[in-house]
Each structure stands twice: as C-alpha cells, then as structure tokens.
Structure 1
Amino acid sequence: MTFGEWTAWLRQHGEAGVFFIEPGERPDLFAAARGLDFATVRLDLADCRRSDDLFARMAAVFRFPEWFGDNWDALADCLADLSWWLARGYVLVIGNSGAFREADPASWRMLLDVLADTADSWRDAAVPFWSFVTDPPADDA
C-alpha cells in the first residue's frame, strides 16, 4: 500500500485487527500512523522462544506498568488499558516471529487471539488498535 492508502485504511477503526504484511510496507505504514498521531510499536521477536520472553518484550515496547503480571490475562488487561500511553490509535508491527511460532505455536496463536480481542475492545471506544505481522502467515495462523 502507499502512504495515502495506509492513511485512509488506518482511519477506519472498525477495520482494525491483526494482519500480515510485507516487510517493505513498514515505512509507509509507520509514516501514515505517525501522521495520524497514532502510537507506533515495533516488536522484534528474534530469538524469542517462549511466552516469558514474549511478555518481557511486550512489557518493554508498550511501557507496561510494574504491576504487569507476565501472563496472558495481564497482557490482555494492559493492552486493553494503555492509560499510561494515550494515543488516537495504536499500530503494532511484529517482526522476526518465525522462531517463536515454531518453538511455541500455542503461544503464537494465543498472542494473535489476544491482539484480535484487543482490537475489538478498543473498537468500542472508536480507537483503532492495529497489529501487523511482517512474516508470512503460518499454515496454522
């Protein structure tokens, strides 16, 4: 997509969810998101093999409060709150997920479910929460 196409699509909070994109689309995506005053987050899962690693990386990139509990419920709660990082919308781009997806496919599927649920919960407040994966989708994604 072009910068203009990303800008138009990101404005549609009702369409927000989890999507797979080509790595080359990131620059225009981030530029469009920043132009809309959206918070942008890059989550690099290189060398991530377990949910513990994932939780630590999510906590760092989203600046979770110290009370974050390093579990799926706490992840969902923090992503549905984000009161410490108010924005007009959120764009998360996940890269290098292959090793994590292979090492812990159940946690990968859980992450995608949590992100989809997060988009749904923010939709009610008309705040888009977009998640993009720059790796090709796995057969079970």
Structure 2
Amino acid sequence: MNRLLDPDLTRPSQNGVYFVGDADLVRLAANAVREELAVRRTDLAGCHGKAELLQCLASSLTLPADFGDNWDALADSLRDLGWLPAWGHVLLFDHASALQHGASGDFDVLLGILDDAATFAQDADRPFFAFFALPDFAPDDGRLRTTLPPGIA
C-alpha cells in the first residue's frame, strides 16, 4: 500500500476492511498510534479454522471474559468496543494467507463480521479499520477494499 493512498484513519467514512502487503502493517500501526486510535495486532499463523481463529482473536483483542467463543459473540464484541476504550480502532492481521487458503469459509465469515463492525462504527461516527497482510498482495491502485462473498453482509 502506498502511503499516499492509505485511508485517513481519522475519517469514519473510509472505515472498512483492507488487504495490504506484509510491510504495510508497521506504517499503518504507527499512523494509528499517532492518531491515538486503539491498535490490536493478531498473528494468524497457525490458525487453520474457526476454533483456532476465535481463540487467537480472544487473546490478541483481549476480548471480555464472558466472550461466547462463537461468530455471534465476536460480532457483538466488535460492534460494542466498550471493553477496549478509544475513539477509534485499527485491527492488524499478520499471516492472513494461511487462513485465507486453509479455511476460506472461516476467513470469509471473519471478513463479513469485520465489515459489519466497520459499518456499525461508521454509523456511530467512529473510525474502525481492519488490515489483512497478504504476501502476494499487489493492488492496481495501492489500496483495495475487500469484496465480500455473496451472502455476507
């Protein structure tokens, strides 16, 4: 991702889920910290399905103790981020290709949940961004918002 094409992390109108190159996460994290946004980084290496993914997210996002360990609980937690106080949130995902290729259905559900959370935050005028590092990512314009699979809103 070219820094000139990075989304403005202070503008909820640009909220969303983005694919980026591996090297982009450090710059995006620094930008988020500079804007005083909450930043959480999740390493998806070794996540080959829903159970491992939810466990990994519970740890990296410091989800509440009563987290239900299912998709609905994750969606609810990401819509109401009161347990992670900040005026906006940036989630960074390393090694996303392993999950994308090894459990594409679970990857697609995660993208849908994050996209929903970004829309929910935009409606509340709060920044919310999720960035997935993919080693083979080569966008045409330096930035790509995900295209969600059919049936995922």
- TM-score if structure 1 supplies the norm length? 0.89
Contact map agreement 2:25 2:131 (CA 8 A) in 1? no
> Which moves more between the two structures, 29-38 or 131-140?
131-140
Change (3 A) 1:11 1:85: same
What's the CA shift for 1:80?
A: 0.8
1:24-81 CA distance string (max 9 Å, x none):
2222211110011101111111011110111111111111111111110000001111
Change (3 A) 1:47 1:83: same
Which residue of 1 is the match for residue 83 of structure 2?
84
Contact map agreement 1:36 1:88 (CA 8 A) in 2? no
| Residue 53, structure 1, aligned to residue 73, structure 2 | no
What's the CA shift for 1:15?
A: 1.0
> Which moves more between the two structures, 10-19 or 23-32?
23-32
CA distance in 1, matches of 2:11, 2:147: 28
What SS does the aligned partner of 1:32 have? helix
Contact map agreement 1:17 1:130 (CA 8 A) in 2? yes
Contact map agreement 2:29 2:39 (CA 8 A) in 1? yes
CA RMSD of aligned residues (A): 2.2
CA distance in 2, matches of 1:29, 1:62: 17
What SS does the aligned partner of 1:9 have? coil
Which residue of 2 is the match for residue 96 of structure 1?
95
Change (3 A) 1:140 1:122: closer
CA distance in 2, matches of 1:13, 1:140: 19
CA distance in 1, matches of 2:65, 2:125: 27
CA distance in 1, matches of 2:102, 2:45: 12
Q: How is 1:1-141 mapped onto 2 (pairs within 5 angstroms)?
A: 1-2=2-3, 6=6, 9-135=8-134, 136=136
Structure ranking higher in helix proportion? 1
Contact map agreement 1:33 1:39 (CA 8 A) in 2? yes
Aligned length: 139
CA distance in 2, matches of 1:24, 1:99: 17
